[in-house]
Chains A and B, each alone.
Chain A
Amino acid sequence: MTFLLIAIVFLLMLLGAPLFTVISALTLYLLFSNQIDSSAMIIEMHRIATTPILLAIPLFTFAGYLLSESGAPRRLIRLTNAILGWLPGGLSIITLVTCAIFTALTGATGLTIIAMGGILYPALLRGKYPGKFSLGLVTNSGTLGVLFPPSLPLIIYAIVAKVKINELFLAGLLPGILLVVLLSIFSIQKAVATEVPRTRFKFSEIGKASREMIWELPLPLIVFGGIYSGYFAVSEAAAITAFYVLLVEMVIHRDIKWRELPQVMRKSMVLVGGILIILGSALGLTNYLIDAEVPMKLMELIKAHISSPFLFLVMLNIFLLAVGCIMDIFSALTIVVPLITPIASAYGIHPVHLGIIFLANLQIGASTPPVGMNLFISSLRFDKPMFSLILASLPFMVILLIALAIITYVPWLSLALLK
């Protein structure tokens, strides 16, 4: 009976039922069969929604959406072009860097592919980059920013796993840079091999481009400087960012009209609502599972078969790639993290390092064939069949997997900045 119900719910999930209803259904069933009142689940939702740190999520998301709708992406591309455009493979590095920054700010990789890819893909083709390479590049660049603060997945992990956000923000930097550097090397090599024409370096263009961006340039300083120096709490940095972006884009640049603002608010809060309700329902489920000592039983099972931490990490990598492939990063984090953290700590893995492994893994999973979310979004956005996208992504996947191995098996990379 139980098995049949779970199978039906699982089937509905694969057919596209909203994840929060799937999770809620399981939780309600578990509560009901153990004669616990269903309002226990609502208590959990209410508790998580009113956690102080959660304030950072709507504020950062709103700021990110506002930036994406404004002229900021265009200005950012112009400035990075002035600085890096003369390098061999310059435009491809610009794609990697700007997409990473953009995802870090908006937290939605799909949004990056659509907003940035829409500008960069035609530019890459005009710059005589091979079509297949360009397609793979814009599809995979979107995932890069997840490890850079203040990305939403970092915040969500910190909430769910109960680690300090500041530490996680620091830990993501080196692994994130590693990903960007490895992909840049690959891109330069590709550009040199296919003899992509280079542009001349003009000092005056840097001046013009940075003057155009002068108001947005202090933003990273506010976010990173404020948080790392310990001067602001994360939610305070979010509040300043939202207010500052509102001021710059609406009053100084006037890229967006005031009557368009409610639409931007609505779009961004639909994403926040979608994440919050999954977070709420998943925590209800995992709380129940923890009470029922499921992670403990899982741990005994795994410990009996896997003795070395190394082997455990290999299994974790494979498992998380599969999860990241079928599930979006927010749901994956809220459901899987509470079950895995106790097991990982039994193998002596640092909770902050574990967070970076999770995020790197899940973000790469999102571009993994056959059903990675980014492949679908890219296929729709650039009107290309799935199959050619999978082919275009393959060389990038190889590099991302190498980087993933380094991030997973060299804890130093994540923990060096923590002290």
Chain B
Amino acid sequence: MMDRLERLDDTINRVEQILLVTSLSLMILIAFLQIILRNLFVTGLSWGDTLLRNLVLWIGFIGAAIATKEGKHINIDVASPWLPFAGKNLAGRCTHLFSFLICGLLAYAALKFIKHEAQMGNVTLLNIPTWIPATILPVTFGLMTFRFGLHFLKTLSGVGKFGIMDEREKER
């Protein structure tokens, strides 16, 4: 069961990686192109700025979903360095379960937001309804819920990392 879930998570992760890299590359290119057009040709892509703003939204929230997978969310970790092994495990269980619940609520709130946006019927670039690019919100919050759940299950079975902080410390 855990194996299946983790493989699913890895597949989702590959899709995220592709989306993230394409979005960021596109953002760098379009943002630079806009400046060239504005300064050399006194023109610009009319949809460029709207696209860039939506790319920030996508990149930011995909980044947050990946941060959940890698346990790299910003946190305050003053207690766990002094906790014994068993205490760390318990702390990990509590915080992951809590984050799972909160992200679930946020995903639900994001769904309501999308529904509301769809009813308003506003449109953004190229006449696409605004709620379509905004679907990244419930999707990534859903993903974060799933991943915090996965972390929680891992701490229950006693494998994997206990503190959310562990991985981040190595890197930053």
Contacts and interface: CB of A to CB of B under 8 A. Distances in A.
Interface of A, helix, strand, loop or mixed by DSSP: helix
A240 to B, nearest CB: 6
Given A49-B56, A59-B28, A15 B63 contact: no
A46 B70 contact: no
A242 interface: yes
A52 B53 contact: yes
Please name the 5 residue pairs, one residue from A and one from B, whose CB atoms are nearest each other, closest first.
A273-B63, A239-B31, A18-B73, A273-B64, A276-B60
B79 A16 contact: yes
B76 to A, nearest CB: 6
Chain A interface residue count: which class?
Answer: 35 or more
Contacts of B56: 49-50, 54-55, 57-58
Interface string B70-85: 1011111111110000
A183 interface: no
Given A59-B28, A239-B35, A276-B60, A37 B76 contact: no
Interface string A300-336: 0000000000000000000000000011101100000
A16 B95 CA distance: 7
Given A269-B62, A331-B74, A16 B24 contact: no
B48 to A, nearest CB: 11
Interface of B: 17, 20-21, 24-25, 27-29, 31-32, 34-35, 49, 52-54, 56-57, 59-68, 70, 72-81, 91-92, 94-95, 98-99, 102-103, 105-106, 108-110, 112-113, 116, 134, 137, 163-165, 169-172
Given A16-B163, A273-B60, A331-B74, A266 B91 contact: no
A17 interface: yes
28 contacts: A15-B95, A18-B74, A18-B75, A21-B98, A21-B103, A24-B105, A42-B109, A42-B113, A52-B53, A55-B27, A58-B24, A59-B28, A239-B28, A242-B28, A265-B24, A265-B25, A270-B63, A271-B72, A272-B63, A273-B60, A273-B62, A274-B64, A277-B64, A326-B76, A328-B76, A330-B74, A377-B169, A380-B170
Contacts of A262: 17, 21
Contacts of B116: 39
B172 A62 contact: no
A246 interface: yes
A110 B172 contact: yes
A45 interface: yes
B138 to A, nearest CB: 9
A39 B21 contact: no
Of the listed residues A18, A111, A270, A273, the one surrounded by the most CB atoms of chain B closer than 10 A to its CB is A18
A28 B103 CA distance: 11
Nearest to B57: A49
A270 B79 contact: no
A273 B31 contact: no
A39 B76 contact: no
A240 B72 CA distance: 28
A15 B172 contact: no
A15 B80 contact: yes
B172 A276 contact: no
A87 interface: no
Contact of A265 (B21, B49, B52, B57): B21
A235 B31 contact: yes
B109 A39 contact: yes
Interface string A232-260: 10011011101100100000000000000
B63 A274 contact: yes
A87 B153 CA distance: 58
Nearest to A233: B35
Given A46-B134, A55-B52, A272-B59, A38 B112 contact: yes
Given A28-B105, A42-B109, 6 more contacts: A46-B134, A266-B17, A269-B63, A273-B65, A277-B64, A277-B73
A12 B24 CA distance: 34
Nearest to A327: B76
A199 to B, nearest CB: 32
A20 interface: yes
Contacts of B49: 52
A266 B59 CA distance: 10
Interface in A261-294: 261-262, 265-267, 269-278
A43 B113 contact: yes
A272 B60 contact: yes
Nearest to B64: A273
B165 A270 contact: no
A298 interface: no
A111 B74 contact: no
A32 B29 CA distance: 43
Given A15-B91, A239-B31, A274-B64, A50 B57 contact: yes
A330 B29 CA distance: 28
Contacts of B170: 380
A116 interface: no
B164 A58 contact: no
Nearest to A111: B172
Contacts of A55: 27, 31, 52-53, 56
